[in-house]
Structure 1
C-alpha cells in the first residue's frame, strides 16, 4: 500500500525547526499573500525558508516581485516592535520609511545581482519613533527551480553600538587632541608599544623641529635623543610605574637630517598612565627653557621663578587628574571633569600670562573664571569689589575655587534654572582683612550632602590653607553662601598651589 506524501501529512514538515518564527509560519494565513498556501510553495521557496530558520544570524527573505518577508528568530529581535506584524508583509510597505532603498534591493536582486553595504546608515521606526541605525547588509538572489531569481535573501548585522562607540572614541580622542593643541607647554603621549608616539602638540613639534613623528617608535622618531639615554628613562617609567622629572635638562636635537646638533634645555615630566594596574602610556609634559638657562645673573631669578611655576603647574594638573578620578564613576565623567578643570586653570594662566605673571586684577580674573557660566540674554552673575591686584598664587587658587562653585551652581544651584543669580563681592576692612562672598539666589533649595568631593575639599580645605585664611559654606533656603576670609598679605604674590 502506498504511503501518503510527507507534505500531505504535514505541509510544514519542511521547516525542520522549532521556534517563535517557525510557529508564526505554521499559523500565518499565507493564502492572503502573493505566495499562496504553503501547499503550493515551490521547493526552492521551502528550502530557502528552512535554511534561514536554522541561522543564528538575522536573515530576511524577500520573495517575489512584492518582496514578501519571511525571516528568522534573530531577525525578529532586530525588527523590534514591528514584529510580528512585519512577518508576511511586502517589504516596501513593511519598511515604508526606506521603501526607495528596498526598491533598489529588489530591482538588483531579481535581476540576479548582489549588493553589500558596511555600516549602512538608515532611519528605521522599530519602536514607534525614528531611530538612526547602522548595519552591515548583504543581499543575494534566491533562484527558483529553473535557476531564475525568484527572491532576495538579506543577511542583516546591526552595527549601531560599534559605530556609536567608535564615534565616541573619535570624539574623545579629538577632545584630548584639542586639549593638547591649546596647551602652553609641550605635550606628548607615548604608548608601551615600542615607545610609540600617539599624540604630540604644536609646542612639542616646535621643540623637535617640525618633524612628523606620530605613529613612530621613540628611537626611530628621535634617534639623536634616544642615543642620549632618554629612551632608557622611558623604560624605567614603564617598568617602575614611578614618574620621572627633569629640570633644565640638556638635550641635543638635530632639526634637519644632515644638520648639526642643536643644544636645548627643557623642564619635563614623564608621568605614567595606568590601566588595570599596568602602565600603558607615558604622558610627557614640559617647557623649553633654553633662553632662561643661558641667561646671565639678571635672568637667574626669572629661571628660578619659572622652574617653580612649571613644577607646581604640573603638580596642580596631576593633582586635579588624580583627585577627579577618585571621585567619579565613569570614564566619560572623568574626561569631562578633568577637561573643565584644566581649562579653568588654563584660563587663569592666560590672564596671568597677559600680565607677565606679575599678578592680576582680581575683577578681571573673576570675570575670566566665570565667563563660561554666564547665561545668554541676562546677567546671571554679578561681580563687585574694589580694584585689587592679587598675586599669581592667590589668583589661581581663587579662580579654581570659583570654577568649582559655579560648576556646582549649574548642576544643583541657582544657575541650574533661568531665574537664579550669583553675586560675587569682596572688600578690604580696616584691619586689612580680605573678604570674598559668593551668594546664590533664586535657584532650587540645596541640601548639604554627606559626601565631600573634589570641589568641596578644594574650597573648604585647600583654598583656606593655601591663602592662610578661613572658608565657610552655608545652605540657607535662598541658596548657597560661601565666604572666604584672609589677610591682604596672604593674597600677594605666592608660589602656585601645593599638592591638593
Structure 2
C-alpha cells in the first residue's frame, strides 16, 4: 500500500511546519495555517522571523535552539507565550514546540520539522495553583476574623446555648468545606450563580435577607469555577471584616450579565456603613481580586470605593 505522506501531513491535527537550513519556510500544514489565520503564500519561502517578527533577544534565543537542533537532532521550547486571534478576540495562549532535524537522502538537504502543542490550560492551572498557595497564607490571616464573625452572627439568632452550638457547628462545617475546595480540591459547581450562592450561604448564612443575587445561567469550566470561587470568597471575607456584613445594616447586591463572545460581567456592590479600612490599599487581597484572578479568567477587574459603598466589577472571557 502506498502512503500519501503529503496528504497525511496536511490532515494532521497537530500544527506542524518545516524550515530549511536557513530557517526559511518550506512547508506548513493546514492546522498550522489555521492557527495563525494565514495561507501558504504568507509563509512559504519566507525567513521565519520575517513571517513572525520577534524581539532581538527572542530571535537570538530561538535561532540558537533551531541551529542546535540541526546538530543534536531534537529540541523543545516549552510554554512559549503567544497572543493569538481567536474568532476576532485576541487570546493569550501558551504553546510547547518540539523540533526534529531530518535529512532528505535524495538531495542531502537538512530540514527542521516543528510540531506544537497547546498547553494553555496546563499553564493556567499551574499558575492558579501557585496563586492559591499564596492566597492560602493570606486566607489564614482572615480565617480567625471570619470564625469570630460567624460566632457573633450565630449568637444573634440562636435561641439558647444548644441551638448556638448546633448552628455554629453547621457554619464551621460549611466553612471547612469551602476552604478545602479553594485549596485545590474539585469545585462542585459549574455555573456562576451556584458558585456565588455557595460562597454566600457560608459567609452570610444569617444575613441572606440583606443579600440580592440575580443573573442568567453562565457555565464555567473547572478552572473558571475555582478562580470565581476564590474571588467571591475574598469579597465575602472582606464584607465580613469591614464591609456590608460587618454590621446589621449593610446590604450586598450581586448581579451579572452576559456579554458577546461567551463572556460575562459580574458586579458586586455593597452599601451601608463600611469601615474606612476597606480602602484601596495594594495588599495581597487587592492584587488577587484585580490582577491574579482576572488573568486566570481571561478578563479584567476594577474596584471602586464611594461614600458608604464598594463596587467590584469582574469581566470573564473578555480578554
Q: TM-score, normalised by structure 1?
A: 0.34
Question: Considering only CA atoms, is the larger Rg found in Structure 1 or Structure 2?
Answer: 1
Q: TM-score, normalised by structure 2?
A: 0.50
